[in-house]
Amino acid sequence: MFFASDNAGPAHPAILSAMTDALGGYALGYGADDTTAAVEARIREIFEAPRAAVRLVSTGTAANALLLATLANPWESIFCTPQAHVWEDECNAVEAMTGGASMAHVAAGPDARMTPDTLLDAIAGRGGAVHRAQPGPVTITSVTERGTLYTPDEIAALSDVAATRGMKVHLDGARFANALVALGCTPAEMTWKAGVDAVSFGGTKNGCPAVEACILFDPDPDWEMQLRRKRGGHLLSRHRTLSGQMQGYLAGDLWLDLAARANAAAARLAAGLRALGLGDTVLAEPEANMIFVSWPMRLHDRLTAAGAVYYVMGHSDDPEAPVIGRFVCDWATSEEAVDTFLGHLRTALETKAA
């Protein structure tokens, strides 16, 4: 009953095995090894992007900040929703790595998605005279921070707004695979075919120990990205540590299988909630591997006492106060774990009703 985050579960054995294999013998450091070359080529293939620049780092924060620093100037504002991970949970990493760009919010509902209209409103507040921060890149997240998705068409509509103003589009794909299998589209359709310029392609939340790929579809600023990676302390010397993981992750369809498992576990959980009559507690229709619910603190306490682990916002001393709970399933979330949790939930509801 561990639903705290998809970075809390086990790494997948096949990925660990591939990493271990990659780390035998001698090979040049800093990415000049064969495994890294093979992985970069594999990612270009997956994205149908033969010219793309692909560089590996060990965290999603590094991937996001590195790509945004490469796309943005320090006198610009980067556009994101108020719920964006880059705003909420990266402790000013983007401001730091860009050398002082600002983050401008694009209004979003509880589904954490911006729209062309809200993006246009936000852009209108920047730029023009020299006094204003100028419009910089847009960054969106899919799966979003509230468990929803952007369809390729929705991404394309945002990219159109950006492109006509010379602004770039970055996709925080910490849960890229979860979005992809949910949408049933190709990586290319979800990214460059929809106007995305740069992707943080996540591995960590989907069974890798710690690896993310920075992808720039236009490779022109690749050297800048590499220099920024180095000066950010993000160029791993024994680089096979990163590429070995990614090689295992992308072998066969493992990465897609793992995401499908996580999504299925979340769907099972959502179905269970509805079966218990709790459909109304679910905020934003869950589309991948995350579910957000709103229920009383009292219920949260009961579930915690029963051993459930999940993230909660709005912790309160008032047992009737509503809190928002976040449930994240990962590749290893078992049907048993979901069912056990639902059992405890049923008990808690019955106790209340009794």
Chain residues 225-264 in contact with a second copy, contact rule CB under 8 A: 226-238, 240-242
Shortest Å, Cβ 265 to a second copy: 13
| Binding status of residue 102 toward a second copy by CB under 8 A | yes
Phi–psi pair at 120, nearest 5 degrees:
-60, -40
Shortest Å, Cβ 136 to a second copy: 10
Cβ proximity to a second copy: between 126 and 346 the closer is 126
Strand order in the sheet with 322-328: 282-283, 290-296, 322-328, 311-313
Cβ proximity to a second copy: between 179 and 236 the closer is 236
Shortest Å, Cβ 351 to a second copy: 27
Cβ proximity to a second copy: between 109 and 232 the closer is 232
Cβ proximity to a second copy: between 210 and 276 the closer is 210
| Binding status of residue 166 toward a second copy by CB under 8 A | no
Instruction: Check residue 80 and report its DSSP letter.
Output: E
Cβ proximity to a second copy: between 39 and 282 the closer is 39
Site for a second copy (CB under 8 A): which residue of 14, 96, 312, 349?
96
| Binding status of residue 19 toward a second copy by CB under 8 A | yes
What angle, 0 to 180 degrees and rounded to 10, lies between the N-to-C axes of helices 240-250 and 254-275?
Answer: 70
Residues within window 22-41 making contact with a second copy, judged by CB under 8 A: 23-30
Both ends of the chain: CA-CA distance in Å?
25
**How far is 177 from 113, CA to CA, in rounded Å?**
18
- If DSSP states are collapsed to H, E and C, what string results for 223-284? HHHHHHHHHCCCCCCCCHHHHHHHHHHHCCCHHHHHHHHHHHHHHHHHHHHHHCCCHHHEEC
Shortest Å, Cβ 9 to a second copy: 5
Site for a second copy (CB under 8 A): which residue of 49, 66, 112, 177?
66
Q: 273-312 mask for a second copy (x: CB under 8 A)?
A: ----------------------------------------
Phi–psi pair at 67, nearest 5 degrees:
-70, -45
Q: What amino acid is encoded at 199 in this protein?
A: V
- Tokens coding 322: 């509503």
Cβ proximity to a second copy: between 185 and 219 the closer is 219
Shortest Å, Cβ 302 to a second copy: 21
Q: Tokens 């992308």, residue?
A: 250
Number of residues that bind a second copy (CB under 8 A): 80
- Tokens coding 315: 């912790």
Cβ proximity to a second copy: between 26 and 353 the closer is 26
| Binding status of residue 73 toward a second copy by CB under 8 A | yes
Burial of 164 (0-12, 13-18, 19+ CB in 10 A): exposed
| Binding status of residue 319 toward a second copy by CB under 8 A | no
| Binding status of residue 165 toward a second copy by CB under 8 A | no
Shortest Å, Cβ 127 to a second copy: 10
- Tokens coding 215: 């992808």
**How far is 129 from 110, CA to CA, in rounded Å?**
33
| Binding status of residue 175 toward a second copy by CB under 8 A | no
Site for a second copy (CB under 8 A): which residue of 52, 53, 54, 103?
103
The answer, yes or no, to whether the previous bond of 181 is cis (omega within 30 of 0) is no
Site for a second copy (CB under 8 A): which residue of 163, 188, 210, 284?
210
Cβ proximity to a second copy: between 242 and 278 the closer is 242
| Binding status of residue 11 toward a second copy by CB under 8 A | yes
Residues within window 128-157 making contact with a second copy, judged by CB under 8 A: 130-134
What b/e readout covers 108-129, taking b as 16+ CB neighbours within 10 angstroms? beebbbbbeebbeebbeebeee
